[in-house]
């Protein structure tokens, strides 16, 4: 089947490969809704390493493995010796000798990179606190495609942090937008904006895809043509000492409330990767409104994870005879063959 392939950084993939994953997510969602998803990971085991607590990511990967006929082994902090009494490389070698794939959420991207480097099985990035969240932004791209029916030319406004220290969602959304031809509008206080070094890659991608990248301190400019408005948290655990300073920088100008949403076109939808700090970056009246698609977005994590597991972990597996007779298997096989 060739060399194993990992899913740890959006930049590793072409626009066409990302579109294939989005197309596949739509197929597996339909199959899942009909309870007709083939057992493409029958008797497979997935090591799931989580250095932090998780709701959507942990649940989506574990349920996805079950629905695909496999097993997700959840490893929380303290369950294994990762990077403490054992090197990441040694842990990776051991787990990949027993499991068919590894999902890892880590504090540092380097640990995810090293896990993939030493693993003999595919590794999927379930979020690096200091860099990116590729599974989430792939899900977001699928969710926008599902709502609008196209990808290229979507206008996405991100309201919030995109700095190296705290802005991983804004940065990764900008990256996937620049790959896919999504017009990306970023608005935040200047001190919380993305740095020039990161923008070099974004602009390089955008030159190929036709994506428009706009960075502004004025929310009105960012959301004037928005099809989607997206926020992430401004404060979080580990940053308690900076919470007051950060809230002062963002409030009230950048809070997405009902008056804020009136600055966007009437068809505009609201998105959030969750968990949300209600009353800070977004108000109840917006997140619980008809414009909000945050819970559709959250549900779509399941189908995105199914697509990732089929594509990366399932690549080396021979399907069971019963699955090969499934119409969904034939459709899934047709799509995944385009990927590799």
DSSP 193: S
Select which of 6, 172, 273, 323 is catalytic. Answer: 273
**C-alpha–C-alpha distance, residues 206 and 201, integer Å:** 9
**C-alpha–C-alpha distance, residues 234 and 254, integer Å:** 10
Select which of 56, 58, 105, 171 is catalytic. Answer: 105
Long-range CB contacts for residues 233-240, cutoff 8 Å, separation at least 24:
233/160, 233/275, 233/276, 233/277, 233/280, 233/281, 234/160, 234/161, 234/277, 234/280, 234/281, 235/277, 235/280, 236/166, 236/277, 239/166
CA angle 52, 55, 56 (to 5 degrees): 115
Instruction: Take residue 26 and report the two structure tokens written for it.
Output: 């739509």
Select which of 100, 136, 171, 227 is catalytic. Answer: 136
DSSP 320: P
Q: Is 232 a catalytic residue?
A: yes
Select which of 114, 172, 232, 323 is catalytic. Answer: 232
Element (H, E) at 294: helix 294-308
Q: Would you give the distance in Å from CA 33 to the centre of its chain? A: 21
- Helices 294-308 and 15-33: angle between axes, nearest 10 degrees: 100
Q: Is 273 a catalytic residue?
A: yes
Q: Is 133 a catalytic residue?
A: yes
Select which of 193, 227, 301, 323 is catalytic. Answer: 301
Q: Is 255 a catalytic residue?
A: no
Instruction: Enumerate the active-site residues.
Output: 105, 133, 136, 232, 273, 301
């Amino acid at each position: 089947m060739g060399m194993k392939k990992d899913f740890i950084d959006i930049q590793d993939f072409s626009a066409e490969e990302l579109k294939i994953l989005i197309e596949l997510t739509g197929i597996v969602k339909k199959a899942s809704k009909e309870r007709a998803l083939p057992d493409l990971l029958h008797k497979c085991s997935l090591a799931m390493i989580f250095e932090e607590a998780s709701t959507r990511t942990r649940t989506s990967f574990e349920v996805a493995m079950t629905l695909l006929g496999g097993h997700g082994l959840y490893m929380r902090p303290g369950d294994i010796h990762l990077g403490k009494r054992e090197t990441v490389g040694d842990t990776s070698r051991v787990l990949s000798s027993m499991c068919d794939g590894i999902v890892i959420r880590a504090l540092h991207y380097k640990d995810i990179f090293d896990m993939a480097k030493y693993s003999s099985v595919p590794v999927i990035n379930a979020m690096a606190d200091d860099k990116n969240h590729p599974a989430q932004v792939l899900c977001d791209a699928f969710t926008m495609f599902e709502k609008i029916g196209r990808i290229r030319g979507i206008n996405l406004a991100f309201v919030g942090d995109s700095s190296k220290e705290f802005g991983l969602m804004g940065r990764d959304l900008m990256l996937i937008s620049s790959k896919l031809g999504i017009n990306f509008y970023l608005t935040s206080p200047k001190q919380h904006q993305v740095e020039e070094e990161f923008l070099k890659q974004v602009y390089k991608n955008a030159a190929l895809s036709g994506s428009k990248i706009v960075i502004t301190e004025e929310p009105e400019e960012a959301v004037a043509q928005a099809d989607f408005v997206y926020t992430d948290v401004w404060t979080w655990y580990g940053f308690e000492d900076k919470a007051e300073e950060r809230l002062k920088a963002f409030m009230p100008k950048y809070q997405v409330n009902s008056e804020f949403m009136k600055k966007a076109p009437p068809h505009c939808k609201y998105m959030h990767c969750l968990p949300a700090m209600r009353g800070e970056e977004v108000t109840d009246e917006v997140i619980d409104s008809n414009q909000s698609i945050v819970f559709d977005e959250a549900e779509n994590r399941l189908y995105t994870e199914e697509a990732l597991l089929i594509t990366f972990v399932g690549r080396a597996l021979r399907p069971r005879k019963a699955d090969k007779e499934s119409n969904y298997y034939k459709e899934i096989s047709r799509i995944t063959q385009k990927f590799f």
